[in-house]
Structure 1
Amino acid sequence: MEDPELEWRPLTSADAEACAALRTAAEAVDDLGESYSAEDFLDDLATSGLDAERGTLGVFEDGRMVAMGAVHARTAADPVHAMFFWATVHPDRRGRGIGAGVLAWAERAAREISALRYPGAPLRLQSPAYDAMPDHCALLESFDYRVDHYDLGMVRPISPAEADAPPQLPAGFELVPFGSEVAEEFRVTHNEAFVPDHPGTTVVPPEVFAERTGNSAFRADFTFGLRETASSALAGYVLAYHYEADTQATGRRDVYINYLATRREFRGRGVAAALIGAVLHAAAGQGFDTASLEVLAEHPTGALSLYQRLGFEARRTFAVYVKDLD
């Protein structure tokens, strides 16, 4: 039951600074490796997958935000609408049942949003939990969530010398810098590479891909494709972000590899390694300190072993919990 002394309401753009302050306070204790700014919140609020009125929640005590949560719709229910949920409770307000209240809200909100977007489709809610936060895991389990899979947060240092070492491209391929003229080709490549082999992935329509490349953290100068010259086909692509809030919190400049995809017919030819090499080379040239990414612990395409060979090390493990909602 919701505490009557607390105010529970949807979030608006006016809450951006309060959201950032809450996430900063939580990160200082939780060490998720995820800093969050007011601008990041505004980017999230503007995405088509987020119904701000029904799918966001702020919890306030005496005018101060003490918790927040959001549920995100997917681009398809294929065959299940697998919505995402995340939440944060201020460290000095934990243990009061607020987290349980936010989770109960999320299930209600997910049902309402899913019924509007995909009437009659089966619904699943999924949420990550850092394995070093046992209370968070226990809360999800108390609501009958189960672990579906594990994601690894990986990091690799970038050497200044890599600025002088252009990526080694496989024979017969050329590097394609990102730009508006190739954006649609990148989107199609993403769908053809991700959807068949990445569990839970749904097709990305043009407006959603535009949101990803219009995000304030997006780095077009660190985003590349690799084209086979003989066929002119885009064999794969990498999409990179830089979160300034992380730099302010840690003092390090990190390039985050948000997506890396290779079409099936081009796998095993060094495409992915060349694309990562291109990111590292470009980032080193601008003085970046690290590169980071997340990957399924048991990835169907063997991506984990590739990242390990390229010098990435796992720093954090996240259990992704799921629950089917009737």
Structure 2
Amino acid sequence: MRENVVLRDPEGEIRAWGSVHDRAEGRMLFVHVVERGLPEEQADACSRLLFTWADEQARAVGTARELEVQQIDTGAFADDDRQHAWLEAAGFTKVRTWFQMSRPVTAEEADLVPDPDLWQRGEVTIRRVRRREEDGLPDSVDLSAIHQVLEQAFRDHFNSWEETFGEFVHRVREDPGHRWDHWWLAELEHEDLDGIGPIPVGALIGTYLETNNGADGSYVSYIGVLDDARGRGVAKALLHTIIADAATRGRDRVGLEVDADSPTGAHGLYEALGWQTKYVTESWHRDVPVR
């Protein structure tokens, strides 16, 4: 479920925008944008209206989900004092900080892995999701495996909410940069499970980035590795794969977001592989009683 609202001036120009997204049971995402050029009094009024609208949407979503409390999850840039003041006035609390990172890609890095479609390092195999010959759509077994890996990998992470397979696929496909050929699985040959076949232990979902100047890039939307498979280089292999894939496509960068307080130490891995923080964002939450 998504709902949007815009605020227009007397000439019909949009000056503020709000959007809500029923992300998962108990968690509703909220986008809050007010034009920078508005006089302070008008900007404050627009902000108050958007937060009031978001509260009503939270109650509607929470009622449909039969919840007692609905979380609103929104964000701000770390240096946006205006947004911080509005969020605090509306009863939101800052709960997390995120590093928005980017890494340049060179043409030579196409050789970083033997083949982004399928390659192997030791007992770990990295491959794109399989596609059905009849219609080119992805194999449902592979999609289910990716969903299960990500659900388990992020189960104990900050603000993780269980998401059904249908919700997961529907939401990810709505991303404008969604491409089926940007999904990878990492599988592990398990010597104690001979005859069962490789076990999915890691997953990466990438998306396509396009900017106004025409320089295309790739983005790591999700990367997760199961606890039992950590320390085997799975995450590094997946990251090398999307870098090589981006180089093969002639793209100039790979972006990602990382939790500043990640319990896995992911930030250090990304820096070691060439990522640098470009800017910092924050998560702000508010719990709305449904009834």
TM above 0.5: yes
**Unmatched 5+ residue regions in structure 2?**
131-137, 191-196
- If the length of structure 2 is used for normalisation, what is the TM-score? 0.85
Aligned to 1:87: 32
RMSD, aligned α-carbons:
1.9
> Out of 224, 228, 231, which is 1:268 matched to?
231
- Asked whether the equivalents of residues 112 and 240 of structure 2 are also in contact (C-alpha less than 8 Å), the reply is no
Equivalents in 1 of 2:92, 2:51: separation in Å? Answer: 11
Q: Which has the higher strand share?
A: 2
Aligned to 1:4: none
Tell me the amino acid that sits aligned with residue 87 of structure 2.
L
- If the length of structure 1 is used for normalisation, what is the TM-score? 0.76
- Asked whether the equivalents of residues 96 and 282 of structure 2 are also in contact (C-alpha less than 8 Å), the reply is yes
Aligned to 1:125: 72
- Asked whether the equivalents of residues 59 and 66 of structure 1 are also in contact (C-alpha less than 8 Å), the reply is yes
Aligned to 1:223: 183
Aligned to 1:316: 279
> Out of 13, 31, 34, which is 1:64 matched to?
13
Equivalents in 1 of 2:174, 2:32: separation in Å? Answer: 24
Q: Is the partner of 2:64 in helix, strand or coil? A: helix
Aligned to 1:183: 143
- Describe the superposition over 1:280-318 as per-residue Cα deviations: whole angstroms up to 9, x where unpaired: 001101111011011110002211111111111111111
Aligned to 2:194: none
Aligned to 1:148: 95
- Asked whether the equivalents of residues 170 and 269 of structure 1 are also in contact (C-alpha less than 8 Å), the reply is no
In the alignment, structure 1 residue 297 sits paired with structure 2 residue 257? no
- Asked whether the equivalents of residues 154 and 316 of structure 1 are also in contact (C-alpha less than 8 Å), the reply is yes
Tell me the amino acid that sits aligned with residue 202 of structure 1.
W
Aligned to 2:135: none
- Asked whether the equivalents of residues 27 and 161 of structure 2 are also in contact (C-alpha less than 8 Å), the reply is no
> Out of 124, 128, 135, which is 2:82 matched to?
135
Tell me the amino acid that sits aligned with residue 49 of structure 2.
G
> Out of 50, 58, 71, which is 1:102 matched to?
50
> Out of 120, 125, 136, which is 1:174 matched to?
125
Tell me the percent identity: 24
Equivalents in 1 of 2:157, 2:120: separation in Å? Answer: 25
**Unmatched 5+ residue regions in structure 1?**
1-48
Q: Is the partner of 2:54 in helix, strand or coil? A: helix
Greater relative CO (CA pairs within 8 A, separation 6+)? 2
The Cα shift of 1:64 comes to: 2.1
- Asked whether the equivalents of residues 178 and 224 of structure 1 are also in contact (C-alpha less than 8 Å), the reply is yes
The Cα shift of 1:93 comes to: 2.6
The total of aligned residue pairs comes to 265
